[in-house]
Structure 1
Amino acid sequence: MKFEDYHIAPEIKRSLEKAGFKRPTDIQFKAIPAIMKGEDVLAIAQTGTGKTAAFAIPVVDLLSRQKPSSRAEGIKCLVMVPTRELAIQITEVFERIAQYTSIKAISVFGGVEQAPQIAQLERGVDILISTPGRMFDLVSQGHIKLNRIEILILDEADHMLDLGFIKDIQDLIKFLPKNRQTLFFSATINEKIKKLAYSLVRNAIRIQISPQNPVARNITHSVAFIGMDDKRFFLERVIKENPDKKILVFVRTKVRAERVFKALERMEIEAVTIHGDKEQKDRLEAMASFRKGEVKILIATDVSARGIDIANVDYVVNYDLPEQAENYVHRVGRTGRGVQKGIAVSFCSPEEKPVLDEIQEYLGQPIDILKISTTDYSETLDFTADTTDDLKSLMKEVEEFESRKKKHKKR
């Protein structure tokens, strides 16, 4: 079935054609008809399956078919998401799909001045995409009214629970009309998520897209055994052997992100970082420069592993293995999206082997080992452009980062 065969508004078909959408993905094929019928939906699908369009297409269609009404009547659809980056990305998808309709979508999130967001809200909005903190701030100030919500969408619900937003979600329900449509999207399912989901949805259509291999088939992923202190040299080699490739590097902590950035800087390799201690403006600039390909290397913590759709990422490098096994899937899912091929490589130090075992157990299969000969290993260390290998220099980098962080908190 093609999108042109769906009973959706011609304006939406036009925008889908312009965006190159021809056939629905599995999650879109199963979710769109149910949502268009007004059903509640509980959908479990791995990252990169097209979840955002699965709810954005039918929601824009439903709202565009309503009789014209004043936006002063209130927001009709609320989309709750765990992170700022995801809020921005989902808003872009709604805008693209709704571009030939009168439907207006905006996002609100913390970390930036609220005045411009309030101004947008005052001009009227049909679809609001928001993180919990900023939304409740604006509700308490009277800038957001939720009494006319017709559709509630929770996206990346499992990640929202991981970040401790369960009470916010439960509090949110008190503000919403009981007679509403609820769409619950999550990459994973467990008892806690199931309990929350069934407290929100009514007689929901359950959709589960769960291939035997949680990692998409078009991603080649492997692991290399590398000493913790040698990882930066192997990252340098990957980058220099792939000068035109877009590479997303995942590290475990904010301090590690800055250390890797400094190491690449010494190697005269341009990179940008994104993590929770960066100003929102800097995070947006880093994402924009990486998306456009102006900078080929993005170093990120797991704040960027979930749901972020960055086009044409050629490589994902797990510089550090993730603390939670399921985050491995979310990380490597940043490459090989849609029909594109992707490569993911993980650097595993001896102390990380127990984490690797957990990841392989979660995947239900071993990860291919990238064998590095003794000669190759030695040559990688010998030919590095980074000649700074003393502990004092590394500790100084950490101290500088911590000092900047303290100054930021005082402001």
Structure 2
Amino acid sequence: MSEFNAFSLLGSIIDRLSLKGYKEPTPIQKECIPILINGNDLLGIAQTGTGKTAAFSLPIINNFARNKIDISAKSTRSLILTPTRELASQIMQNIDDYAEGLALNTKVVYGGVGRQGQVDAIAQGLDILVATPGRLLDLIETGDIHFKALEVFVLDEADTMLDMGFFKDVQNIIAKLPKKRQTLLFSATMPKEIEILAQDILTAPTKVKITPETVTADLVNQNVYHLEKSDKMPLLLNILQTPDYEKVLIFCKTKYGADIIVNELKKASITADSLHSGKTQAVRETVLQHFKEANLRVLVATDVAARGIDVDNITLVINYNLPEDPRNYIHRIGRTARAGKSGMAISFAVENDIRQLTNIENSIGQVIPVVTEQPFHKEFSKASIQVKKLGKNQGKKKVNKTNKNIRSKSLKKSRKK
């Protein structure tokens, strides 16, 4: 018997979960599902890969299927707001899988595609709407949707919304929602802005915190390779000679850089494609599907495009460029440590990356081992190593002291003049 039976979910939902291979709830599902079925507000601290989508969608599906109503035109009973098109699509795909046979009206809306089909679907009235902020605001402004019938609001990846500059849009959308509703807020981290927002929109919420960021880091076998910038591609090709790396996700800084890497990989007869904002939504979905189905061995992505990548059995993550924000490092390597599984991550670091590497190590609370037994190993200067040893805060103090001395010398010179 499935452990999901303990939640009193509809039999058809249990059957769908069994078909998808869900044997037992993840920690966040165990915590959240009973709370949400009872209609309480919830503040969830959890990153992607913890089973979060099922945690919030199963109660919504179950409650709506048990209590069907006539939905008025241009309205929706629930709104799930998420930052990226890829994540919105994947949430919708999972919801449709869980709700098969329950006759619920669902729709996903995002930019980059025609809006008329979205308008027509909303006009019929929806049980569940998954949306990204930009397109939803557009539909609100043109009067193609209202929220008079809204019962449940889910804000997913709240910290990503903040990082991507959507926070004002999110606040504008929330202002349009009815005050009386069930509200769920999920975020991997809790910066001050998110804490304030949570206080404003949640009513007596239950707080659930699952899998701190350091736990994901602990699940991944991490290494860093010191090298010259010109040796990155030769090293990448050398690593990919290992046949065990069957499904590889590479992160780079720019979409231009992603396309260059793909072209070089193709020259080496390695099946690869890129995922970034310079491609249309249809193309991005096709690329992601090919990667899921193992028709591509390598996917090269930028941070923004990679939000929401939910692909099983990624054997290796490579940071071709280190992320500037340490939090993105956790999101990146977590692609290969899904739902408590272990994984492997390799980072390339040139000498100028030492400061970024130190910040990442401080963030995850561990030193990433350096692999010296590799053909392109580069010994960094003593000055760089000293910066790494100083650590984030001490390094700042040293820089500030140096700047202070420079300003003092400049001031003395100006006085002499």
TM-score category (smaller protein): 0.7 to 0.9
**Alignment-derived partner of residue 40 in structure 1:** 41
| Distance of aligned partners of 1:9 and 1:73 in 2 relative to their CA distance in 1, 3 Å threshold | farther
| Distance of aligned partners of 1:73 and 1:122 in 2 relative to their CA distance in 1, 3 Å threshold | closer
| 2:43 is the counterpart of 1:24 | no
Contact 2:83 2:160 (8 Å CA) reproduced? yes
Contact 1:15 1:100 (8 Å CA) reproduced? no
What SS is found at the alignment partner of 1:333?
helix
* Count of aligned pairs between the two proteins: 376
What does residue range 3-402 of structure 1 map to in structure 2 within 5 Å?
A: 3-70=4-71, 72=73, 74-211=75-212, 213-215=214-216, 217-242=218-243, 245-338=246-339, 340-373=341-374, 376-377=375-376
Matched residue type, 2:29: Q
What SS is found at the alignment partner of 2:44?
strand
Contact 1:252 1:323 (8 Å CA) reproduced? no
Distance 1:217 1:4 in 2: 32
Contact 1:138 1:144 (8 Å CA) reproduced? yes
- Deviation of 1:242 after TM superposition, in Å, equals 2.5
How well do the aligned residues superpose, as a CA RMSD in angstroms?
A: 1.8
Segments of 5+ residues of structure 1 without an aligned counterpart are: 379-411
Distance 2:73 2:356 in 1: 52
**Alignment-derived partner of residue 399 in structure 2:** none
- Deviation of 1:71 after TM superposition, in Å, equals 5.5
- Deviation of 1:308 after TM superposition, in Å, equals 2.1
Contact 1:42 1:204 (8 Å CA) reproduced? yes
Distance 2:172 2:259 in 1: 37
Distance 2:137 2:233 in 1: 42
Distance 1:309 1:216 in 2: 17
| Distance of aligned partners of 1:229 and 1:356 in 2 relative to their CA distance in 1, 3 Å threshold | same
Distance 1:213 1:163 in 2: 23
Deviations 1:139-175 (A, max 9, x none): 2222222121110000000000111112111111222
Matched residue type, 1:58: P
- List structure 1 segments (4+ residues) > 3 angstroms apart after TM superposition: 70-73
- Deviation of 1:43 after TM superposition, in Å, equals 0.6
Contact 1:155 1:185 (8 Å CA) reproduced? yes
- Deviation of 1:120 after TM superposition, in Å, equals 2.5
Deviations 1:267-318 (A, max 9, x none): 2322111111112222111111111111111100002443321122111111
Distance 1:183 1:210 in 2: 18
Segments of 5+ residues of structure 2 without an aligned counterpart are: 378-417
Distance 1:321 1:12 in 2: 41
Distance 1:178 1:4 in 2: 33
After the TM superposition, which of the residue ranges 63-72 and 35-44 deviates more from structure 2? 63-72
Deviations 1:69-106 (A, max 9, x none): 24537200000011000000000111111113122321
Matched residue type, 2:195: K
Distance 1:19 1:304 in 2: 26
Distance 2:77 2:118 in 1: 17
Deviations 1:109-146 (A, max 9, x none): 00111122223223432100000110111122222221
- Deviation of 1:190 after TM superposition, in Å, equals 1.6
Distance 1:329 1:26 in 2: 19
Deviations 1:218-238 (A, max 9, x none): 421211112111111111122
* TM-score, normalised relative to structure 2: 0.86
Matched residue type, 1:287: L
Matched residue type, 2:96: E
Distance 1:324 1:339 in 2: 24
Contact 2:74 2:145 (8 Å CA) reproduced? no
What SS is found at the alignment partner of 1:293?
coil
Contact 1:305 1:334 (8 Å CA) reproduced? no
Distance 1:270 1:288 in 2: 14
Distance 1:109 1:279 in 2: 12
Distance 2:236 2:340 in 1: 26
- Deviation of 1:67 after TM superposition, in Å, equals 3.6
Distance 1:254 1:272 in 2: 12
What SS is found at the alignment partner of 1:207?
strand
Deviations 1:176-235 (A, max 9, x none): 111000000001112111011111111111111244724254421211112111111111
Distance 1:261 1:365 in 2: 32
Distance 1:82 1:105 in 2: 18
* TM-score, normalised relative to structure 1: 0.87
What SS is found at the alignment partner of 2:171?
helix
Contact 2:323 2:329 (8 Å CA) reproduced? yes
Distance 1:73 1:118 in 2: 8
What SS is found at the alignment partner of 1:126?
strand
Matched residue type, 1:62: N
Larger Rg: 2
| Distance of aligned partners of 1:177 and 1:220 in 2 relative to their CA distance in 1, 3 Å threshold | same
Contact 1:158 1:193 (8 Å CA) reproduced? yes
Distance 2:71 2:125 in 1: 8
Contact 1:98 1:104 (8 Å CA) reproduced? no
What SS is found at the alignment partner of 1:371?
coil
Distance 2:170 2:189 in 1: 18
- Deviation of 1:339 after TM superposition, in Å, equals 5.2
| Seq. identity, % | 38
Distance 1:216 1:100 in 2: 39
What SS is found at the alignment partner of 1:368?
coil
Contact 1:314 1:336 (8 Å CA) reproduced? no
